């Protein structure tokens, strides 16, 4: 069965994402890629232009998807709390659905060339700006505390590390809930002003 349509390319993308996630970009040789995809060198290079271009494609996929859905979320007229929860649910779902590519996205930034870095960095900033916007909007109307938003830099890391290291023991929804629970309310017991002193 020759000519199976354009799905050879998709097979290349998913197989290489998995390999890159497991062994790293530089740690994965063409030969392993070839075996996983079931092609010879010539066949592979018929579909891709270079290994690095392949990496870039793997990394842009997931971020572009959440970027698109975050726009949809921000466009709605829900309150900030609801939007924040939606961002989290969406991000958790996206990671669960495409864990390998996300792992690559988070680990292999430094393996990109200069133009690739610029593109990924731009997407990253755009996406985190969505989170920042919801957070500052929510703070403006009193839904959220006034926050130093430095921690937003790690939202992606926060999610992906939980997913990567805990993947087998909990369903993705539980992981997302765990993360969002802390993000929304922290670990401290609510209200109950303990002692009051303690300062600092």
If we measure between CA atoms, which residue out of 120, 110, 98, 117 comes closest to residue 164? 98
For 40-118, where are the E strands, in sequence order?
none
User: Does residue 55 contact residue 30 with C-beta atoms inside 8 Å?
Assistant: no
Q: Which of 5, 6, 168, 194 binds a copy of itself (CB under 8 A)?
A: 194
CA 175/CA 141 separation, integer angstroms:
29
Q: Which of 22, 41, 46, 72 binds a copy of itself (CB under 8 A)?
A: 22
Q: Which of 13, 58, 59, 111 binds a copy of itself (CB under 8 A)?
A: 111
Q: Which of 22, 35, 46, 182 binds DNA (CB under 7 A)?
A: 46
Q: Which of 13, 18, 21, 51 binds DNA (CB under 7 A)?
A: 51
User: Does residue 48 contact residue 12 with C-beta atoms inside 8 Å?
Assistant: yes
- Can residue 178 be called a binding residue for DNA (CB under 7 A)? no
- Can residue 107 be called a binding residue for DNA (CB under 7 A)? no
State which of positions 38-97 bind a copy of itself (CB under 8 A): 81-82, 84-85
Cβ proximity to a copy of itself, 39 vs 156, nearer residue = 156
- Can residue 185 be called a binding residue for a copy of itself (CB under 8 A)? yes
- Going by the DSSP 8-state scheme, the letter that residue 149 receives in this structure is G
Residues in binding contact with DNA, number by CB under 7 A = 24
- CA-to-CA dists, residue 145 to 80, 91, 137, 140, angstroms: 12, 23, 11, 9
**Non-local CB neighbours of 98 within 8 Å, separated by 6+ positions:** 17, 61, 62, 65
- Give me the residues that bind DNA (CB under 7 A), please: 2-4, 6, 8, 26, 28-32, 38-47, 50-52
């Amino acid at each position: 069965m020759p000519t199976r349509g354009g799905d050879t390319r998709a097979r290349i993308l998913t197989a290489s994402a998995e390999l890159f996630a497991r062994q790293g970009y530089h740690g994965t040789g063409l030969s392993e890629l070839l075996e996983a995809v079931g092609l010879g060198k010539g066949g592979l290079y018929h579909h891709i232009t270079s290994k690095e271009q392949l990496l870039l494609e793997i990394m842009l996929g997931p971020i572009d998807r959440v970027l698109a859905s975050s726009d949809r979320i921000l466009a709605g007229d829900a309150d900030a709390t609801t939007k924040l929860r939606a961002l989290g649910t969406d991000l958790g779902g996206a990671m669960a659905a495409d864990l390998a590519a996300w792992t690559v996205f988070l680990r292999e930034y430094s393996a990109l060339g200069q133009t690739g870095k610029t593109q990924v960095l731009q997407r990253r900033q755009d996406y985190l700006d969505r989170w920042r916007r919801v957070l500052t909007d929510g703070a403006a109307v009193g839904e959220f505390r006034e926050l130093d938003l430095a921690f937003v830099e790690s939202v992606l890391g926060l999610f992906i590390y939980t997913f990567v290291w805990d993947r087998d023991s909990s369903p993705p929804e539980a992981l997302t809930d765990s993360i969002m629970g802390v993000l929304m309310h922290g670990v401290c017991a609510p209200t109950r002003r303990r002692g009051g002193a303690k300062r600092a």
